[in-house]
């Protein structure tokens, strides 16, 4: 039997997918009985024509070798041999592993690094400063309802990392075969199978929590050790090489290598690393606000009269514009979701977005963010980090100093008039959002960039700049403001055996690319040692 791939098969969005068999018949001119089982491998939505919304499919099917020989000359250009899935089989090293690999941080980068090592029989210890997922969930709820922040267990810190309270979008721009492995692994731990097929897959925060819990179980079952409330406070070195880690200022653990997957919120850890002489640099990033609209408005803007159809789900958008030489763009759009308080240190207000798998809440939200370059701020390694901290503290003060977020109706933001009470669109940020003049917490360039962006986006989606839309400040954790420099082997430039990975190291942005980066570091360590 031979596996073939048929691409560019399009059907009206509400058609039965069994019609794909007819389309494959038309593309191959094979008799119906010659086409074996059909498996959809990619499905993307084409809503450019709102009167004719379609799904575009790629599907794999089998034909006999004899049929292939007989008919292949008549196949259309949309039919080709199905590509073999690349096998990622890391080369194993010769040295016995003298001590465990320490993985610091249980976000996507750390979890995938630890999992890659543990299932191949390597000794690994995974530590995270935060708490396990169920306790962390309670801590986050306490923050959202009572404004009591736990600086070690929150939306940024704890099992699953920053992505756990998110929409769980798995779109990525990186082209690495490991991205498929990441998706398959998430499915094996409880994510829905559709994420392996959808062109814009998302998991939802509710499902992600289960996935993360199951992945930890698999690491432990394979012999890995996982510890929470275990903060990296020091790195032990000898002659320019890592020999161990210090946890919580007291305990010391020997390790043969350390994967540093600390995410972008650990300002204290960044500063500790800089103090011990590691090479850090400021990195371009982007800051702004979260905007909320009624999801029904976004649905109508994208799907016209078909808005609300269950086969289409909640609509998304992605918009870009310019403010002078700066890019302004929407970021991490969460259909049918919530704006969430994402602070990780006392005295700062930070927003981000989250959806449940059903994406069925009333509001759509997304970041509107403006690019910031280190050269705007002097270029020192921590200039962007300090800029971010200043904005977050200003938002905290403007909100009243109790983790209320300053927010403003788009009409008042655009006109520069006194902020009015919210009406029409009610902000979803908890503990609460309060009407404030956002000029008091946003730098002038950022405020201007958002204003110009809103005007441009209003031309792209008519009504995007509606007066009732709510802007909540500040959206400041879009990517890392710092890069931990590493060499061509993935090790820190000034410390052998230390592998900075993921978003915090400045080499990934998003769940999938962070996970892939973690896997690559694990493979490099596997190439040095042999498992027991």
Ligand X SMILES: Cc1cc2nc3c(=O)[nH]c(=O)nc-3n(C[C@H](O)[C@H](O)[C@H](O)COP(=O)(O)OP(=O)(O)OC[C@H]3O[C@@H](n4cnc5c(N)ncnc54)[C@H](O)[C@@H]3O)c2cc1C
> Rule CB under 6 A: which residues touch ligand X?
104-110, 127-130, 155, 157-158, 161-163, 165-169, 231-232, 261-263, 266, 269, 332, 340, 342, 352-354, 477, 502-504, 508-511, 514
Cβ proximity to ligand X, 161 vs 490, nearer residue: 161
Quick one: which of 81, 72, 65 has its CA closest to 7? 81
CA 391 – CA 254 distance, rounded (Å): 39
Cβ proximity to ligand X, 244 vs 263, nearer residue: 263
Cβ proximity to ligand X, 231 vs 520, nearer residue: 231
Report in angstroms how near the CB of residue 4 gets to ligand X at its nearest: 32
SS (H, E, C) 222-248: CCCEEECCCCEEEEEEECCEEEEEEEC
The residues, ordered by sequence, that sit 6+ positions from 221 with a Cβ below 8 Å of its Cβ are none
Look at the alpha carbons of 223, 229, 232, 236 in this order and tell me if their dihedral is positive or negative: negative
Report in angstroms how near the CB of residue 8 gets to ligand X at its nearest: 27
Query: What is the four-CA torsion angle of 123, 213, 270, 441, rounded to 10 degrees?
Result: 170
Burial class (CB in 10 A: 0-12, 13-18, 19+), 86: exposed
Cβ proximity to ligand X, 68 vs 507, nearer residue: 507
Report in angstroms how near the CB of residue 322 gets to ligand X at its nearest: 24
Cβ proximity to ligand X, 263 vs 374, nearer residue: 263
Task: For residue 80, list its beta bridge partners.
Answer: 5
Cβ proximity to ligand X, 269 vs 301, nearer residue: 269
Cβ proximity to ligand X, 24 vs 314, nearer residue: 314
Report in angstroms how near the CB of residue 30 gets to ligand X at its nearest: 40
DSSP 125: E
Report in angstroms how near the CB of residue 329 gets to ligand X at its nearest: 15
Cβ proximity to ligand X, 152 vs 279, nearer residue: 152
- Beta-strand pair 2-12/79-81: antiparallel
Report in angstroms how near the CB of residue 202 gets to ligand X at its nearest: 7
Q: Are the C-beta atoms of 44 and 197 separated by less than 8 Å? A: no
Q: Enumerate helices (H) and strands (E) in the chain, giving the number of each.
A: 13, 25
CA angle 126, 129, 130 (to 5 degrees): 105
The backbone torsions φ and ψ at residue 521, rounded to the nearest 5 degrees and listed phi first, read: -65, -40
Report in angstroms how near the CB of residue 162 gets to ligand X at its nearest: 4
Report in angstroms how near the CB of residue 57 gets to ligand X at its nearest: 24
Residue 178, CA atoms < 13 Å, CB-side half-sphere: 21
CA 401 – CA 12 distance, rounded (Å): 52
Report in angstroms how near the CB of residue 27 gets to ligand X at its nearest: 34
Cβ proximity to ligand X, 168 vs 412, nearer residue: 168
Which regions of 417-505 does DSSP assign to beta strands (E)? 433-435, 470-475, 482-484, 498-500
CA 500 – CA 523 distance, rounded (Å): 14
Cβ proximity to ligand X, 163 vs 497, nearer residue: 163
Report in angstroms how near the CB of residue 472 gets to ligand X at its nearest: 13
Residue 123, CA atoms < 13 Å, CB-side half-sphere: 12
């Amino acid at each position: 039997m031979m596996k073939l791939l048929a691409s560019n098969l399009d059907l009206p969005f509400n058609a039965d997918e069994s019609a794909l068999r007819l389309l494959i018949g038309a593309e191959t001119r094979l008799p119906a009985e010659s086409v074996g089982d059909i498996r959809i491998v990619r499905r993307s939505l084409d809503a450019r024509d709102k009167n004719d919304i379609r799904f575009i499919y790629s599907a794999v099917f089998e034909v006999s070798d004899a049929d292939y020989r007989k008919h292949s000359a008549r196949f259309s250009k949309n039919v080709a041999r199905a590509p073999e899935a690349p096998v990622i089989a890391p080369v194993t090293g010769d040295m016995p592993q003298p001590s465990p690999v320490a993985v610091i941080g249980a976000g996507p980068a750390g979890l995938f690094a630890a999992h890659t090592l543990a299932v191949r029989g390597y000794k690994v210890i995974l530590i995270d400063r935060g708490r396990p997922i169920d306790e962390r969930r309670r801590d986050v709820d306490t923050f959202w309802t009572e404004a009591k922040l736990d600086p070690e267990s929150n939306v940024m810190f704890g099992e699953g990392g920053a992505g756990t309270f998110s929409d769980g979008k798995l779109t990525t721009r990186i082209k690495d075969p490991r991205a498929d492995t990441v998706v398959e692994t998430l499915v094996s731990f409880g994510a829905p199978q559709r994420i392996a097929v959808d062109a814009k897959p998302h998991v939802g925060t509710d499902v992600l929590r289960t996935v993360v819990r199951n992945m930890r179980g698999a690491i432990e079952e394979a012999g890995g050790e996982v510890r929470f409330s275990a903060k990296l406070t020091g790195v032990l070195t000898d002659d320019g090489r890592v020999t161990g880690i210090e946890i919580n200022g007291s305990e010391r653990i020997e390790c043969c290598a350390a994967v540093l997957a600390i995410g972008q919120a650990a300002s204290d850890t960044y500063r500790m690393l800089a103090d011990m002489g590691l090479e850090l640099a400021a990195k371009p990033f982007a800051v702004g606000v979260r905007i909320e609209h009624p999801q029904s408005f976004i649905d109508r803007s994208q799907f016209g009269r078909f808005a609300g159809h269950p086969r289409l789900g909640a609509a998304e958008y992605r918009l870009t514009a310019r403010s002078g030489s700066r890019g302004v763009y929407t970021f991490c759009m969460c259909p049918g979701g919530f704006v969430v308080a994402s602070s990780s240190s006392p005295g700062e207000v930070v927003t981000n977005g989250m959806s449940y798998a059903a994406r069925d809440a009333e509001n759509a939200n997304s970041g509107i963010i403006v690019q910031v370059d280190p050269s705007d701020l002097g270029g020192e390694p921590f200039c962007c980090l300090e800029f971010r901290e200043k904005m977050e503290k200003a938002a905290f003060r403007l909100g009243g100093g109790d983790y209320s977020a300053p927010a403003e109706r788009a009409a008042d933001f655009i006109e520069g008039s006194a902020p009015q009470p919210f009406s029409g669109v009610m902000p979803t940020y908890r503990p609460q959002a309060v009407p404030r003049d956002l000029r008091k917490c946003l730098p002038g360039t950022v405020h201007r960039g958002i204003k110009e962006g809103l005007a441009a986006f209003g031309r792209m989606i008519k009504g995007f700049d509606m007066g009732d839309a709510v802007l909540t400040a500040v959206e400041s954790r879009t990517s890392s403001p710092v890069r931990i420099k590493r060499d061509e082997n993935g090790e820190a430039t000034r410390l052998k055996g230390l592998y900075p990975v993921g978003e915090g190291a400045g080499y990934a942005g998003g769940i999938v690319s962070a996970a892939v980066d973690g896997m690559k570091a694990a493979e490099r360590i596997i190439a040095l040692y042999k498992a027991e």
